[in-house]
Amino acid sequence: MSISKEDPRLTAYALGEIEDSKERAEIEAALAADPELQAEVDSVRALGDMLGAGFAREATPELSEFDKARMEQKADVEALATDRSWLRMHWKAVAGMAASILLAAVLLKPYVGSVRTVTYDDEVEFAEVQTVKQYRKLEVSIPPERMEGTPQPIKVPNLEPAPTQAPVLMVEEEVAVGRAVQSDPPAAPVPKPALVAHAAQQKHGAKRERTESLALVDAEFGNRADAFTVSSELGGTGGVQVKCATVEPEGSFNTEAYDPIETTSFRSPLVEPLSTFSIDVDTASYANVRRFLNQGQLPPADSVRIEELVNYFNYSDAAPTKSLEDGGAPFAVHLEQMSAPWQPEHRLVRVGLKGYEMPWEERPASNLVFLLDVSGSMSQPNKLPLLKEALMLLTRRLDSRDRVAIVVYAGASGLVLPSTTANNTATIEHALTQLQAGGSTNAGAGIELAYQVAREHFIEDGNNRVILCTDGDFNVGQTNRGDLAQIVADQAKDGVSLTVLGFGMGNYKDNMLEELSNKGKGTYAYVDSEAEARKVFLQDLASNIFKIAKDVKIQVEFNPSQVRAYRLIGYENRRLKSEDFNNDQKAAGDIGPGHTIVALYEIVPVDVEMSLPRVDELKYQQQTVVNGSRAELATVKLRYKLPDAEVSQLIVHPLAVDTLQAIEDASADLRFAAAVAAFGMRLRSEAELGDYSYEMVERLAAGALDSDPGGHRSEFIGLVRKADGLNQGN
């Protein structure tokens, strides 16, 4: 049995997910014969143990003192309302208590603190801002000895960290302006913080221009201090006039957002002979659908992107064996067809791509910038805590060739960890553990800062990438999808890609995140559990953050002498114009090492009657069928560029008519992919599926489990059963 260090079965074995005793024995024999394989297993186990221990340590967030006071206040009020007769008998005491409660309500009004003295010296810089903002400071306490050998923070607009200390972050929020008060002169010197704002220019000198609103917080992120608004010009010393401010608490409404999906109907090759689309290696939709089903809900139809469901799974397609350095192809192409399970008269064609499985030592050096959403919406245990554990997993796979930086954003953005070598794991993990969530979400500023850091440390011929981790709920600053998408698209052209990792629920903005990942030429995954974090950052790490080919496009030409109609299942938002296929200026998706990409076509043979939308006969020309080859069903063409190339290469594969197989004779991969596609169509209630039920989907998938490293195919069957039960309950 031949096993490489990149074989997913090795990770599955290390995590105790291989149930077949024969397969387990074969792996153990391979480990005994190869010390390097055994070392890889030990490494994966250590990472898995670390992640599990991290989740076990995750404590339930404690209530703030404000929350406790509000709860006590509410309990007192409810107790007073329960007994009217007692109230009449003890009205004097009750009146006194009510007065106390009223006074407490005034004193405990959300986020209004005592006026604080603030002094700035002549070196402080203030920026003009257009809206009332509130700033929150995050000090990441990194011991000096851990900073040794770490580059100092780069100079970025609106951010001035102390050059010999851990970076200091001021985070801004939109606030409501209240009453004006005057501060007292300073009682003691105040440490100079860095001020972050978004303005056209900064003012220098002893006399400072006014800024709209500031707020200082304690060293731990989330402990709010007094919000105040400067309403006069500031000198080098003395007090300032301020306005106290309040912030409304976040609502608990479900505001998840998904773009509408318009299912593609059957097309006639006489009218549209070409089907052209960009590959898509995203998997977010599957994990998101799983989250809904595990919560006892059927997912919204528009959250179900069938291609992402199908491409979530690994398939056994053979990868190229010749390395890229030796001139090997970046991926292999596999074509297969069988009768469609839901309509046996139709054919189901599978176009499969399998990326070259690059050994870890061949990978390029990485320049990674983690862009982390630490806004209030990320405070739940399934968001920021899960994110921190996941990123620790990723950094432990990197080494001294790689660089890591951490940028965070809430109301504003800041550089928490300057770009440092990835083997400095203690410093990186320390910075991650200090993060806490709070505030509104201004992603635009964070994205711009993250790309600036990435450009400052750009590695030629390397993997330069921003990894955005968020729930996508961008609610202040630059929130326009089109503008944000243009930023990431421009950066992708300059060689900095974007990987998007989604977290959480309730306010999850899938539509925003999918578009950003598409424009940013990267992958998009949704992390809903500890197990998914392991899959993304252990099993599929190389595929998710490296690329072996870019701008990969597929174009299929159907032979009208054999095909009456066809339709591409899924890929609704990845369709391209026919002329885009040969246009090297038109961007498309990238493929990573070991990636498997599957596209499914449902084909109606020419001898099967079907009613198609009628098109009027042409007036100036006749529709003719060129009889090129009646032996061919279609021709599959692919274009791609190598990572450092700007000119595409072409691959052509004909699909013969006589390769049709019965369902029971087709490969397990084709049968399982068909089951997953049918599952997605059933969730979306697509008419093309007819009366093909969840029970039929389950039977088809159960007969195609084959080798199942990680148990993902078995888990899928469980999700089908849950969907069936929920569907019957509706």
The DSSP string of 220-265 is STT-EEEEE---S-B-SSS--EEEEEE-PPPP-----B--------
pLDDT at 491: 95
pLDDT of residue 443: 60
Predicted local distance difference test score (pLDDT) of residue 627: 65
State whether residue 42 is helix, strand or coil: helix
User: How far, in Å, CA of 279 to CA of 82, rounded?
Assistant: 64
**pLDDT for res 391:** 84
Token readout for 19 is 């149930």
Q: What is the pLDDT of residues 371-400, one digit of tens each?
A: 988 877 677 776 778 788 888 888 888 999
DSSP 338: E
pLDDT computed for residue 1 by the predictor: 59
Under 8 Å between Cβ of 421 and 132: no
Report DSSP state, residue 63: P
- Which domains occur in the chain, in start order? 1-47 (no CATH), 65-107 (no CATH), 126-246 (no CATH), 274-359+548-613+626-729 (2.60.40.1230), 365-520 (3.40.50.410)
Residue 719: which of 708, 711, 311 has the closest Cα? 711
3-state secondary structure of 208: strand
The Cα–Cα gap between 399 and 397 comes to 7
Q: Which two tokens stand for residue 300?
A: 């919204």
The pLDDT of residue 409: 81
Could you tell me the end-to-end alpha-carbon distance of the chain, in angstroms, rounded to an integer? 49
Give the amino acid at 605.
P
Supply angle C-alpha 413, 416, 418, rounded to 5.
115
Three-point CA angle 274, 635, 639, nearest 5°: 75
Collapsing DSSP states into helix, strand and coil, what is residue 659? helix
Residues in the chain: 730
DSSP collapsed to 3 states, 570-586: CCHHHECCHHHHHCCCC
**What are the residues facing 156 on neighbouring strands?**
159
- Alpha-carbon span 726 to 710, nearest angstrom: 26
The parts of the chain modelled with pLDDT lower than 70 are 1, 6, 47-48, 50-253, 377, 382, 411-413, 437-444, 474-479, 625-628
Task: State the pLDDT at residue 52.
Answer: 62
Please give the pLDDT value at position 598: 98
